[in-house]
Amino acid sequence: MLIRVKVWPGSKSQEIIKRSENNFEIKVKARPIQGQANQEAIEILADYFKIPQSKVFLIKGFKQRNKIFNIKLRY
């Protein structure tokens, strides 16, 4: 399942907001340095979907705020 995510790095709290079926906004505490914000976004998505982090893949937007993730819900 492909989802679009807008990531807000450097926020005071962690939060995930579902805008539509496959459109989310995530606020992360980490700064966008060496992929720290991306890793925190992966952790938040894994917790939200209740799957291991190894099933969440960043497909597009490694250095942008707007990203596309591939979520593998089935084993």
Domain architecture of the chain: domains with CATH: 2-71 (3.30.1200.10)
Q: Among residues of the chain, what percentage have pLDDT more than 70?
A: 99
pTM: 0.92
Predicted confidence (pLDDT) per residue in 39-67, tens digit: 999 999 999 999 999 999 999 999 999 99
Please determine, for residue 20, whether its predicted confidence score (pLDDT) is greater than 60. yes
Q: What is the pLDDT of residue 16?
A: 96
Q: What are phi and psi of 51, to 5 degrees?
A: -130, 165
- Read off the pLDDT of each residue in 16-20 and give the average, rounded to a whole number: 96
From the centroid of its chain, how far is CA 49?
A: 11
Per the rule left: phi > 0, alpha: psi between -120 and 50, beta: everything else, 10 is left
Q: Which pLDDT band, with edges at 50, 70 and 90, does 75 fall under? A: low
